[in-house]
Structure 1
């Protein structure tokens, strides 16, 4: 569907505001005007609860004055509101710290439209009905606290004084839920799943984004047991836990750690930093995702890890000017390539350990050391999945965990902005 089918006139607004910022005296400026249209069917406590449609405007302004940077957001295109925000932004820029690395993008141009821009509202009701019917039929002890079936369309237009001119329209269908299981006066901990796609007609609701697996697992987590004695063993990370591991790695490759000088990998491009079983690349055109960075640059596809070897860092435009490293634009959306081992075989290979649904580890130490609680997890003994676990901690080093990946599953869970497998990792300390 062409972008003309969804034309809220965003470019005209962006041009007007950019001209105003230049008139007020900014040396450089960036303006992004966006419009989100959401149609959503909500459910609560196992019953449909609300059908609604909404429209939200978002205006993001960034201004530079003598190397000083200020930014703000507002939700109105009213002339008076915009003028007041620009004046306040100019005042903030005058007292901001000076930094010669501050700059706006130049010469970036792209027009991208993807995903369903219109949808039959009945399809939202149909998908929610499928999910509720599955819960009642297969997991009646699971209390669906909240769920949503939605159609989301996000459009934006970004202009900079450097001549960048970017626009995008992305439509997607999303399904999500969270809840807990109850048996008598006992209940499990909360669990959740969800994601986005361009077309959900190919599978029933519970087959998308691990929703059915999550609900089944939660019903088995009402009764939990401690792990027992301390030991060193293996974990099988579910895709949700793999996302935690991935988030730590991407943080090491981005601005905050690179600028602070605390990244473990600043000097490691070209070197093996992970198991040769791991390959990581971008997914910048996934459902609901467009290949544009927050600093108004086109983000081409990028390989981060190839068979464990680090191929690039990910500094933003500001980060590259601050550190002297090459600029690598990035957006949301990542995937780990599938392996050759079946998911069931991953578990069968574990002599002693656990399947980990979530890892709550806070912020690891600068060298990657961590200690965290594993949640929504099950014990494994001699390759057999046992009881759900409670109050179990694992400790180790996150950087070492990447090297200690022993197997990667053939299966992956696709949530739209991620496609992640199950990982078997050795050498974790259980307590």
Structure 2
């Protein structure tokens, strides 16, 4: 760690000049500073209030179409020259690929979110959370939790003339743990997220209070009672697994490897008309720039079930010939529906409210089989007991088509804003 404050623009300019002097044909450098204030919770008690500060450089260099990347915390001129010499050797021995390139002509300066943390506010939120636990869910053990403020400042420069900088602050809260009653215990459960404001009641953020209540109910579990075909109501935490699979199908690895189910499906219906996915690159903790140095305009991915856009990076675009669509590291919004959550559950004859999917990587065609965790049986529209050792099987692509309801309620976790989604025709065992 460097002592004191450094000028990130000056450090990025110095690093870029050294990269050029080292012989790189193209280069991208990012000078970054992160300041973190956090109050930790362990075993239902606040434990550690601390502030940490770090600086680092992220370097990418190209030589004759060959690329190598590294990051470093030693920002001295001597340290940079030594690392860049090693990086140059790494690049020269890498495979040659004409698709490698850095961004050109990108300009942005982003300032958003709270630029300083309020430690008293964070302490108040932790106290509120622990008081709620003690009063409403005393069998719940918050094994780990925190309230924190992160300020990330950076400056990115490329040999192509891109100049991107930002200062993005946000608060975060999270809780992880299990519930216990004598010798019995639940499975672990977790939720958390990012916000620009923590002035509301702590248990109301990111569904934390509901997660504590649900986990207590999971101390006693029962099987689903045999094989059947039914519906799932995915909580936002479980919806995130479905979203992650879809995003993987639309981005570099699957597109380049030729395994994407949707490479030739732009303009076609790939999901229920109830499903829409759009960017929200100004979300808490998110900056509207991509990791490869591009400004990221708003983008619609799926509109009422119709695929609007793939998301190849610059490299993916040059590799496949597809249109380049830069995206940020987070900031996604599945549009809320019109169905109240209670009505959504009430419409299920037999199935489950699913808190978490544990299924590994689905097959190339989207087929999967996995355990549902933090889940409850639904019978006759009534939410029942917590489930144990229950598996569901289906196809991820078909799940998107079999969406029959989307809740009007959402949970805004910063990086994602997601509703509950009801999906039919899953095989339970």
Q: Which range, TM-score by smaller chain?
A: over 0.9
Deviations 1:174-205 (A, max 9, x none): 1111000000000000000111111111x200
Q: How does 1:378-393 map to 2 (within 5 A)?
A: 378-393=376-391
Q: Which of 331, 334, 356 pairs up with 1:333?
A: 331
- CA drift of 1:58 comes to 2.0
Q: Which of 303, 306, 311 pairs up with 1:309?
A: 306
Q: Which runs of 5+ in 2 are unaligned?
A: none
SS in 1 for 2:15: helix
Q: Which of 281, 284, 300 pairs up with 1:284?
A: 281
Q: How does 1:48-127 map to 2 (within 5 A)?
A: 48-127=46-125
Q: Residue in 2 aligned with 1:362?
A: 360
Query: Aligned partners of 2:7, 2:303: CA distance in 1, in Å?
Result: 42
Q: Which of 38, 41, 45 pairs up with 2:39?
A: 41
- CA drift of 1:361 comes to 0.9
SS in 2 for 1:208: helix
Q: How does 1:24-423 map to 2 (within 5 A)?
A: 24-201=22-199, 203-331=200-328, 332-423=330-421
Q: Aligned Cα RMSD in Å?
A: 0.9
Query: Aligned partners of 1:121, 1:222: CA distance in 2, in Å?
Result: 35
Runs of 4+ in 1 over 6 A off after TM superposition: none
SS in 2 for 1:419: strand
Query: Aligned partners of 1:220, 1:420: CA distance in 2, in Å?
Result: 24
Deviations 1:301-346 (A, max 9, x none): 0000100000000000000000000000001110111101000001
Work out whether residues 121 and 198 of structure 2, in 8 Å CA contact, stay in contact via their aligned partners in 1: no
Query: Aligned partners of 1:117, 1:359: CA distance in 2, in Å?
Result: 36
Query: Aligned partners of 1:352, 1:283: CA distance in 2, in Å?
Result: 35
Query: Aligned partners of 1:408, 1:83: CA distance in 2, in Å?
Result: 54
Query: Aligned partners of 2:145, 2:237: CA distance in 1, in Å?
Result: 18
Q: Residue in 2 aligned with 1:3?
A: none
Query: Aligned partners of 1:292, 1:86: CA distance in 2, in Å?
Result: 25
Query: Aligned partners of 2:221, 2:56: CA distance in 1, in Å?
Result: 45
- CA drift of 1:8 comes to 4.3
With the length of structure 1 as denominator, give the TM-score of the two structures. Answer: 0.98
Deviations 1:8-51 (A, max 9, x none): 41010000010001011100000001000000001101111000
Query: Aligned partners of 1:308, 1:176: CA distance in 2, in Å?
Result: 32
Paired residue total: 425
